[in-house]
A = this chain, B = another copy of it.
Amino acid sequence: MAAAIRIKGVLSPVVTPFKADYAPDTERFVKQCKWLISQNVGLACFGTNSEANSLSVAERVELLEALVAAGIDPGRMMPGTGCCALSDSVKLTAHAVKLGCAGALMLPPFYYKGVPDEGLFRNYSEIIQRVGDSRLRIYLYHIPPVSQVAITLPLIERLIKAYPDTVVGLKDSSGDWNNTKAVLDNFAKTGFSVFPGSESFLLAGLRNGGSGCISATANVNPAAIDKLYTEWQNADADAQQDALNRVRSTFAKYPMIPALKAAVAHYAGDPAWGTTRPPLVELDAGQRAKLVDELTAIDFAMPGLQARR
């Protein structure tokens, strides 16, 4: 394994703000990213919860460049760069490396279902060879509930063997702890970075050699999640995990992305944040009010974001 400093801790698949005409809202995006960084949370921008697959390649390139231009450290960024088209994945990945990003979080091509591991291996292999940059660090993105295309244990093993300095980690959004545990047990001890895709598995992951988590709700509850990441060996770690779970499960009652955006809109006092790009639909007024009531009932109020107002 390369000796380069590896990104770890808590990362957020940053929600992407849109203007009323559904164009990406660069100004609000930069502001949100700066706030997350101030909460010690890294930027897994262009993830599932970022509506990244509703953005064109050019839109993603422009947003990432805006973050760097705003002075945010690319060493705290792990942008999503895995697309259906090999040519798009190569372009986005090369761009992220050129900007100095700590890593690239890579979905498998997700249109065709039931493809063989050989085809997925070729996809990643071609990207690595075409990018052709020793700084590239790939984090595989396993999210079968959405992508419907899995990153299997044999595929991980084959990729690590072929590209030990490049294929260095995985985000597991399967929601299946048994799978996360299997990835940890098989690969973590050799330095492979495993990030559960939800803070629900943060503590269990850390106790089994995990590297942190990359979680939707890190968009709204960053400080508390980072606190558990820092204090996971403390006596109150299980209580901290329980508190995180209460927030998570409240958001999980709603369509996650619209709910995250509704919360940012509410606590930042900035209704424009509520907009989602089609095919997603924002929460309606009733849902928004209910979400805030439920969050208030568990004493959650995004204090960091409120301070930003």
- Contact among B48, B54, B84 with A53 in the assembled complex (CB-CB below 8 Å): B84
Answer whether A86 and B22 are a contact pair too, CB < 8 Å, given A53-B111, A145-B113, A281-B116: yes
Task: For A91, give the chain B residue with the smallest CB separation.
Answer: B56
Give, as a whole number of angstroms, the nearest-CB distance from A162 to chain B.
14
Q: How far apart are the CA atoms of A168 and B7 in the complex, in Å?
A: 51
Q: How many positions in chain A have a CB within 8 Å of any CB in the partner chain?
A: 39
Task: For A53, give the chain B residue with the smallest CB separation.
Answer: B111
Count the copies: 2
Task: For A145, give the chain B residue with the smallest CB separation.
Answer: B113
User: Contact at A111–B112, with CB atoms within 8 Å?
Assistant: no
Hey, which bits of chain A sit against chain B, CB under 8 A?
A: 22, 48, 53-59, 84-88, 91, 108-113, 115-116, 118-120, 122-123, 126, 145-149, 277-281
Q: Which B residues lie within 8 Å of A146 (CB)? A: 111-113
Answer whether A278 and B119 are a contact pair too, CB < 8 Å, given A111-B110, A146-B111, A146-B112: yes
User: Contact at B56–A119, with CB atoms within 8 Å?
Assistant: no
Q: How far apart are the CA atoms of A275 and B122 in the complex, in Å?
A: 13
Q: Which B residues lie within 8 Å of A126 (CB)? A: 22, 278
Q: Which B residues lie within 8 Å of A112 (CB)? A: 53-54, 146, 279-280
Q: How far apart are the CA atoms of A54 and B111 in the complex, in Å?
A: 8
User: Contact at B278–A85, with CB atoms within 8 Å?
Assistant: no
Q: What 5 A-B pairs are tightest by C-beta distance, nearest first?
A: A53-B111, A119-B279, A122-B278, A123-B278, A115-B279
Q: Which B residues lie within 8 Å of A119 (CB)? A: 278-281
Q: How far apart are the CA atoms of A27 and B146 in the complex, in Å?
A: 37
Answer whether A120 and B278 are a contact pair too, CB < 8 Å, given A22-B126, A110-B111, A112-B53: yes
